[in-house]
Each structure stands twice: as C-alpha cells, then as structure tokens.
Amino acid sequence: MTAHPRPNLRLITNDSPEESLHRDAPPPRACNPLESLPDAELVALGIHGDRKALEMLYRRHAAYAIRLASRIEGTARDADDVVHESFIKAFQRLKDLNDRSAFRGWLGAIVVGEVRSLMRHAKFMKTIGLGREDDPIDLSEIVSPAASPHVRAQLAQIFALLQTQPVDNRIAWVLREVEDHDLEHIAQLTGCSLATVKRRVDRVQRFLDDHFLSSGEDEFSSDDSSVRDARGGGVAREPRVSTVREVAR
C-alpha cells in the first residue's frame, strides 16, 4: 500500500500575519547570564563552588592557554594535557589569586610552569636514554599561513636551534619574540626577576645570531620599525631572527 504524505493542516485563527509569524518562530536562544560577567566575578563565584562559573572561565581562556603551551614547546602534542592540568591547578588555587581580574595572566603563569616541568622531564629522560624522540616543530602552530616558504624555512631552523637551549632560556625567548610579551610580564609568567629574564633572552639571541644560517634572501627589513632588540632598544643584530613575531599566527 503506497504511503501518502500527511497534509499540512493548520488551524485558522484571527491572528494577523505578523502575529502568526511571531507565534510560529522558534523560541529565542537562552542567553547565558555568566557570559557578560568579568573574570573577577566569575572567580568569586568559582571560589564558592559555582561550576557554571568555572566552565565559563575555561571556555573564555582555553584557547589562549593552548596557544601559549603550543608556542613554547613548538608542537601541540602535549598542549591538551598541559592545559587540562593547568586549569585543574588554577581552580584548586582560586583562593590564592589576590587580583581576581588577573585570572588570565595567572593562568598563563601556571601553563608556563607546566610546560617547563614537562620539557625538563623530557630532557632528563632523553639524557638517561629513556626519552622519546623529539617531534618535529609544528610550524602550523607558530607561523601565519601567509608566510612564504622562505620564511617558514627560516623559522623551522630557528625553532630547531631553540630545542638545543636550556629550557628556561628557551621559554623566555619564545615569550618575548613569539608571544611579544614585555619583559616585565615575562618575569611574572616565569616567576623570576627582570634581570634574569633579560639575561635569558640575551643568551638565546646571541646563540641564534651565531648559529643561524642565512640563505642569502632577507625577507625582513632592518629598517622595519617593528624590529626591536630583545636586549632593550636599538636595532637587533640579526633581523631575520629577532622578528619572529612578525610572521607568527
């Protein structure tokens, strides 16, 4: 027996077309009142066990945390685990956050600490012959899609050289030259003095200047006003190395 489509029956009412259209429209999407709250208020709610507030903090800052972890390590391989552990620690220590409006920066410091521990452990395990092979640098996590093949090759070389540097020095340089944080903020993220940050960035910069092999094609102009010396003021000695942030995602 052939099935026939059911007729589209509608009750005839005295509603005007506008009223009918309004009545038949789907209900508006409920707005989450927490979305409009600043971090300080979400933190206050989270301290008192409001799970929805904690979820909103995660949604608001997870992408930042993943990017930070990926940029420092040069790969997204462990980023999810790092961010997961970082948020757990942050939520457990919310009461320790004095400036509740500074949640993002505080979370960033926790992420940096987690990545540092991970990189140090990996280096130790490799030293005793139990570590895994280094993953290749994932340029998609670092370089803008608009970057030319020449620039991508330069940055691949830079990040390969960075892997040979002490963990703390590497982190400081990436935060400065890739993430474009000022030195004071890096000191806060890494929990060390401003002088120590300057020294770490300088050491890596000097190492890169000495070991970076130029292909003869300079795609970064030393006249570019954005070329800044990580050591503070002036023009960097090697603009190809010191302007990674110009082509970062």
131-165 pLDDT, tens digit each: 556 566 666 666 777 778 888 888 888 888 888 89
pLDDT of 203 above 50 = yes
CB of 114 within 8 A of CB of 221?
Answer: no
pLDDT of 8 above 50 = no
| Distant-in-sequence, close-in-space partners of 71: CB < 8 Å, separation ≥ 6 | 141, 142, 174, 178, 179, 248
pLDDT of 239 above 90 = no
Residue with tokens 């990040």: 159
Averaged pLDDT, 195-206: 95
3-state secondary structure at position 19: helix
**Which position has the higher pLDDT, 209 or 132?**
209
**Which position has the higher pLDDT, 200 or 211?**
200
pLDDT value for 146: 78
Digit-coded pLDDT (tens) for 29-41? 556 778 889 999 9
Averaged pLDDT, 86-115: 94
| Stated pTM of the model | 0.67
CB of 196 within 8 A of CB of 182?
Answer: no
Q: Which domains does the chain have, with CATH numbers?
A: 36-135 (1.10.1740.10), 136-249 (1.10.10.10)
CB of 118 within 8 A of CB of 85?
Answer: no
Query: What is the rounded average pLDDT for all residues in the chain?
Result: 75
Digit-coded pLDDT (tens) for 15-28? 444 454 444 555 55
pLDDT value for 53: 95
- Residue 78: both structure tokens together: 């462990």
pLDDT of 73 above 60 = yes
